[in-house]
Amino acid sequence: MSEFREKVRAWLAENVPGDEELANAKRFQAALYDAGLAGITWPKEFGGQGLTSAEQQVFDQESARYDLPNSVFRIGMGMCGPTILDLGTPEQKARYIPPLLRGDEIWCQLFSEPGAGSDVASLQTRAVRDGDEWVVNGQKVWTTVAHLADFGALLARTDPDVPKHQGLTMFLIDMHDAAVTVRPLKDMTGRAPFNEVYFENLRLPADAVLGQVGQGWLAAVTMLGHERVSIGGFVRKRHDPLAHANLAETARRYGRDADPVVRAELAKLYAAERALALFNVRLRQEAEAGSPPGARGSVAKLAGAQLQQQAVAVAGLIAGPRATAWEPGDAAGEELALAINQTPSSSIAGGTDQIQRTIIGDRILGLPREPVVDRDVPFRELRVGTQRSA
C-alpha cells in the first residue's frame, strides 16, 4: 500500500493544474485516467482500475492535500456512473462509463421538480410512448451542473394510472438535444451552480431506458443511495476554510487559539470529522464485500450536513462578525464567508435532513412508519403540483 501511496503522491504533485476552468478540468481528469487513478474501485472492463476501497482511501487522503479541479464530474462519478453500473445494459455501460471516467462527458441528475422536491415520487414530467420512441415534456429544477452536462439521468412518469411510486421510468438523455433548454439559477452566494431544465417534445429511443420501464423508483432509490454516500462521504480539502485544520489556523490568526471554549469546540469538530471519515471507510469496505450501504447512506448524508453546520458554528465563534464581513483584500475572510453562505444547501441537496431522519427511523431503527394516505391511489387522482387546480 505504501508503494501505491507514493505513486499517488508523486503524480498529484506534478499534475494538479492551478485553476478550475472546464478545459483544464477535462485535461486533468483525462490525465488522471491515463495514469490509472480514475475509477479506482470501478470494473476494469469499463475503464476502471478494479482495485479496493483501501486504494481509494489512500487516493482520497493524498488528493485532499489539493483542490482538485474535478467538482464538475462529481454527479457523474458519485451518482450516475455507479447507477449505470448497477442497472445498465452491457451496451450502456460500454458506451457511457469509459468517457465518464476520462472526463470527456459530464453528467447531471434530473430528479427535482417545482412541485415535487423532497417528495420525488410526485414528479409530473411525462414520458409517453410513441411507436419505438418516448416523448418527454416537463420541467426539472435545482439541477447541478446541467449547464455544463453532456448527458443526464432523467426520472419521468410513464404511467399516471398507477400509484405514484409505480409509474416512473429512468432515462439516459442527451443534454445537447434541441428539445432541452437549460437556464442557470443563482444562489445566495451569487454563483449559479444549478439550473432549471425544460423538455419540449424530447424524443428518446427505447434503449434510453435505464433499468426497466415502470421501475424508475427502484432506479431512483439506487441513485439516491449512491448520492447520499457521495455527499456524506466527502473528504475535506486542503483549502476548505471550514475544515478543522483551517479553522484552527484561523483561530491562531485571530488570536483565539488560547480560548478554552474555542479549543473545546475545535476538538469536538476534529472528532466529528474523523468519525464521519471512518464511517464512510466502513461503508466502502462493506460495499466492496457485497453489502450496499442502503439506508445507511442516509446516516452519512445527515452526518455530513450536521458536520457542516457544526463547522459554521465554530467559525462564527472564532471569527465573530469577520465570518460575514471582511476587509478588502482579505481573501481568507472572503472564502470563509462564502463557505458559510453555501452551508445551508448541505441540509437540502440530496434530500433534506428531515427526509434522512425518516429513512433512518423507518429502515434502520424499525420505528413505526409515518401514515401514508396516497400509497395506493392512482397518480392521476392525486392533488399534487399542477393537479391541485384540477
- What secondary structure letter does DSSP report for 42? S
Residues 162-182 as b/e (b if ≥16 CB within 10 A, e otherwise) read: bbbbbbbbbbbbebeeebbeb
Gap between the Cα atoms of 20 and 368, Å rounded? 47
Contacts of 389 (CB under 8 A, 6+ apart): none
Residue 326 grid coordinates: 471582511
Cell of 247: 479553522
CA distances from 103 to 31, 73, 98 (A): 9, 7, 9
CA dihedral angle for residue 6, residue 52, residue 149, residue 343, rounded to 10 degrees: -80
CA gap 173, 95 in Å, rounded: 13
d(CA 139, CA 157): 12
CA end-to-end distance (rounded Å), the chain? 62
- The amino acid at residue 252 is R
From the candidates 105, 196, 227, 265, give the one annotated as an active-site residue. 227
Question: What are φ and ψ of residue 196, in 5° steps?
Answer: -105, 145
Q: Of 33, 86, 69, 71, which Cα lies nearest the Cα of 223?
A: 86
Is residue 227 part of the annotated active site? The answer reads: yes
Question: Known catalytic residues?
Answer: 227
